């Protein structure tokens, strides 16, 4: 489906989209459009989706330099602003890539130039590991100089993130792919605390402890791969992975409401209190419309809470730093930071 046939009189009034209040008192739309083309959707297609999504009512866009399409997305943002939507109405996120932890200011300025913006609403450290790997590489790929998480190193990067706020280049800073022990150290040492943590969140990976931790600490949770990333690259698939949109509970609720199972995942996410950022070039209008249709009932929310499988899809294998490790080592599953 293209932009034209998702558009039209059925656009959704942005004023009806729920908002999340950040600890700064600034509001962020509770749904955004993801822009990672998963190595098979071209930058031009993503840019077209950004334009179309704004036309049907999206105001929040989740970008990153590593997605390789910020110049094209920037052209769309420029057109959206030229079309009369004001900069204050938009929420644009970008992210610092892993080989740029020592070049925070320069990387942010590059994203700003590519996105054709004077400031970002949110800039995230994409991963806590400063390890380079080429875009599109295989999961078995390891960089010879891969490093573990070293808190002092991360704080050097964070100090520069804080400087971006001081310089007025970004309004909020945040983290992504963090764990509770890493966030505890950051909250202890930060001058400007993270406003947001972006994390994988879908019905088969609900991360209840981390979700509660961020909420309890006044941090908003942005949920990535909210549909279970059905289009993710082959390198991010393992035989144990499950598919939330095929879960009988999700399918039954979808039938009851007359909507696609993907839309159930999005409704659940927003009603639970996180901010999903579904990627879509073909279904973005339906995903937004789902938010303003009949809510899921309390029973349906409880049923979905019961289907968590602790099934992480985006495992991060390329960040492992020594032989003999498994991807679980990246996620501090025993409650302490995995030692170097």
Ligand X SMILES: NC(=O)c1ccc[n+]([C@@H]2O[C@H](COP(=O)([O-])OP(=O)(O)OC[C@H]3O[C@@H](n4cnc5c(N)ncnc54)[C@H](OP(=O)(O)O)[C@@H]3O)[C@@H](O)[C@H]2O)c1
Cβ 222 to ligand X, closest distance in Å? Answer: 8
23, 58, 67, 123: the catalytic one is 67
200: Cα separation from own chain's centroid? 8
What is the pattern of x (binds ligand X, CB under 6 A) and - over residues 197-216?
A: -x------------------
Q: Choose, by CB under 6 A, the member of 232, 257, 272, 285 that binds ligand X.
A: 232
HSE-up of residue 184 (Cα within 13 Å, Cβ side): 9
Degrees to nearest 5, angle at CA 132 with 96 and 91: 20
Beta carbon nearer to ligand X, 231 or 273? 231
Does 58 participate in binding ligand X (rule CB under 6 A)?
Answer: no
Does 5 participate in binding ligand X (rule CB under 6 A)?
Answer: no
Sign of the Cα pseudo-torsion (109, 113, 118, 122, in order): negative
Angstrom CA distances, 89 to 43, 48, 77, stand at 24, 20, 12
Does 263 participate in binding ligand X (rule CB under 6 A)?
Answer: yes
Beta carbon nearer to ligand X, 84 or 101? 101
Catalytic annotation present for 284:
no
* Residues between 64 and 123 that touch ligand X (CB under 6 A): none
Does 279 participate in binding ligand X (rule CB under 6 A)?
Answer: yes
Which span sits near ligand X by CB under 6 A: 5-13, 105-113, 221-229, 317-325?
221-229
Name which of 276, 268, 282 is nearest 45 in CA terms: 282
On the 0-12 / 13-18 / 19+ scale of CB atoms within 10 A, 181 is middle
**Given phi > 0 = left and psi -120 to 50 = alpha, else beta, which region is 97?**
beta
Distance CA 251, CA 162 (A): 44
Does 6 participate in binding ligand X (rule CB under 6 A)?
Answer: no
State the catalytic residues.
67
Q: Which residues bind ligand X (CB under 6 A)?
A: 34-36, 38, 62, 126, 176-177, 198, 224-232, 260, 262-263, 277-283, 286-287, 314
């Amino acid at each position: 489906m293209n932009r034209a046939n998702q558009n039209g009189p059925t656009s959704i009034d942005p004023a009806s989209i729920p908002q999340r209040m950040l600890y700064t008192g600034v509001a962020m739309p509770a749904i955004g459009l993801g822009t990672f083309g998963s190595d098979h959707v071209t930058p031009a297609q993503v840019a077209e989706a950004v334009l179309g999504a704004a036309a049907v009512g999206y105001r929040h866009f989740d970008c990153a330099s590593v997605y390789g399409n910020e110049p094209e997305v920037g052209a769309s943002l420029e057109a959206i602003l030229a079309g009369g939507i004001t900069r204050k109405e938009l929420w644009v996120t970008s992210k610092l890539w892993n080989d740029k932890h020592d070049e925070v200011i320069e990387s942010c300025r590059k994203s700003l130039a590519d996105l054709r913006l004077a400031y970002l609403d949110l800039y995230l450290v994409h991963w806590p590991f400063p390890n380079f790997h080429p875009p599109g590489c295989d999961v078995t790929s390891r960089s010879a100089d891969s490093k573990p998480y070293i808190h002092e190193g991360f704080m050097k990067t964070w100090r520069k993130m804080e400087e971006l706020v001081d310089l007025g280049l970004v309004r909020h800073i945040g983290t992504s792919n963090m764990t509770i022990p890493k966030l505890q150290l950051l909250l202890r040492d930060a001058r400007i605390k993270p406003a947001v943590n972006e994390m994988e969140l879908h019905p088969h990976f609900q991360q209840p402890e981390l979700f509660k931790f961020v909420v309890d600490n006044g941090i908003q949770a942005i949920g990535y791969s909210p549909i279970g990333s059905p289009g993710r690259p082959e390198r991010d698939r393992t035989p144990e992975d499950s598919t939330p949109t095929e879960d009988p509970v999700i399918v039954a609720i979808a039938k009851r409401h007359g909507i696609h199972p993907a839309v159930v995942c999005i409704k659940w996410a927003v009603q639970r209190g996180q901010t999903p950022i579904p990627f879509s070039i073909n279904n973005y209008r339906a995903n937004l419309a789902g938010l303003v249709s009949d809510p899921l009932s309390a029973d349906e929310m409880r049923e979905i809470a019961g289907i968590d499988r602790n099934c992480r899809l985006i495992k991060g294998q390329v960040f492992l730093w020594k032989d003999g490790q498994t991807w679980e080592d990246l996620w501090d599953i025993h409650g302490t930071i995995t030692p170097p």
